[in-house]
Copies of this chain bind each other. A is one copy, B any other.
């Protein structure tokens, strides 16, 4: 009765949990050390696990990294969807998306992962595919929010997808700048840039956004 599908820790569950744990450790280690200098042994150590176990769950280091990127990308898009699912006007929703691009603090270094992934993606088609999905997700969501605003008469824009591509591109570029040279681009300034560009794209005044 208990051991059927409601079982607390079947074999499969245990393996899945370990896999997830390894993926998580991999993400942490890569963020800390960078993709280039991340060894399988580092990830093993971060999980208090033997090196061999990694290769039991993931055939190659490449598999592990790829799976980690895919998992991270998927939860990222999922969270973003939750963000826009909430209530509010189109401007409020758009502002939430813009803010979600920007690292919330100096210690939030999640973008580093994507800088590494871009470089890797140049050579690795699998990685490129993951990145395409992630970027596509951002753009799609931005475009949705904009279209919605247009439908409600809040926004004015005859090419929501184009506008979304431009906004997404600008945010990517500016976040790189913010991540690499925090001195040359404050978080505040970055957000202001995002909001100004958004006003240009959806035809509303700056005052429509919070100060």
Contact = CB atoms under 8 A, between A and B. Distances in A.
Interface of A: 34-37, 112, 115-116, 118-123, 128, 131-132, 135-136, 162, 165-166, 168-174, 176-177, 179-181, 184-185, 193, 196-197, 200-201
A118 B176 contact: yes
A184 B132 contact: yes
B122 A34 contact: yes
A169 B193 contact: yes
Contacts of A197: 166, 170, 197, 200
Contacts of A135: 177, 181, 184
A1 B185 CA distance: 55
Contact of A173 (B123, B173, B180): B173
A165 B181 CA distance: 13
A33 to B, nearest CB: 8
Given A177-B135, A200-B201, A193 B128 contact: no
A135 B184 CA distance: 10
